[in-house]
Amino acid sequence: MYVAASILSADFGRLNDEINAVCDAGADLIHIDVMDGHFVPNLTIGPCVLNAIQKAAKVPLDVHLMVEDVDFFIDLFLPLKPKFLSFHIERATHPLRLIEKIRKAGINPAIVLNPHTNLNTLEYILSELDMVLLMSVNPGFGGQKFITSALEKIANLREMIDKSGAKCLIEVDGGITGANIAEIELAGADVVVAGSFIFGSQSYTQAIKALKI
């Protein structure tokens, strides 16, 4: 299991130290939620802050765009070259065009599905993706409780990927803890995003270790 540490739950007053700490503790990715205050009721960071995070991080960046104007934000973040750049299928008019643009920039394209979004939306684009991010909470805020129906969705997506022969990872974001990680792994996830479970713990190393089963 790969662990993406979500800085949404970090102490932003000590962001450089927090990033260094989770990298040293064993995080595989730094997960960054970009929120525009429209698609979700929260506003987070822009490319200037992301550029600073990139300089501090010792592991690759995993950027999740929670935005209305997907095209605009993709163009805004492409120059920063994160490892993964994901956008919501719910706001993409021409997802294949965006996937191609991200890949041409040398970045791994990923698509995000909200808890209520049907997996059928991926039917004709799955083979073009490097990762699918399934939200296991309603996006916008950290510290929410895991929606248990996400387990069935993870398992169904795992079956869908295996049957199609696609080579994309399954990432799960929202309410991930040491108590539910075994179920999430069993369902077929490859990557988990954890924020409050890591940054709210006494030991980042032990929290990350608990997720790497």
Ligand-binding annotation for 127, yes or no, is no
Q: Which phi and psi angles does 61 have, rounded to 5°?
A: -100, 145
Q: Are 186 and 178 in contact (CB under 8 A)?
A: no
Which is catalytic among the residues 24, 28, 33, 190?
Answer: 33
pLDDT digits (tens), the chain, 213 positions: 999 999 999 999 999 999 999 999 999 999 999 998 888 877 888 888 989 999 999 999 999 999 989 999 999 999 999 999 999 999 988 999 999 999 999 999 999 999 999 999 999 999 999 999 999 998 766 667 899 999 999 999 999 999 999 999 999 999 999 999 999 999 999 999 999 999 999 999 999 999 997
Ligand-binding annotation for 142, yes or no, is yes
pLDDT attached to residue 43: 80
The CATH number of residue 146's host domain is 3.20.20.70
pLDDT attached to residue 140: 65
Q: Which two tokens stand for residue 158?
A: 């795992």
pTM for this one? Answer: 0.95
- pLDDT digits over 162-181, tens only? 999 999 999 999 999 999 99
Question: What residues make up the domain containing 12?
Answer: 2-211
Ligand-binding annotation for 31, yes or no, is yes
Q: Which two tokens stand for residue 145?
A: 């409780």
Which is catalytic among the residues 11, 71, 173, 190?
Answer: 173
pLDDT attached to residue 209: 97
Cα distance between residue 2 and residue 108, in whole Å: 16
Q: Are 68 and 84 in contact (CB under 8 A)?
A: no
33 belongs to the catalytic site: yes
Residue with tokens 């997802």: 95
pLDDT attached to residue 36: 83
173 belongs to the catalytic site: yes
Domain count within the chain? 1
Ligand-binding annotation for 46, yes or no, is no
Amino acid at 15: L
Bridge-partner residues for 34, per DSSP?
A: 65
Ligand-binding annotation for 143, yes or no, is yes
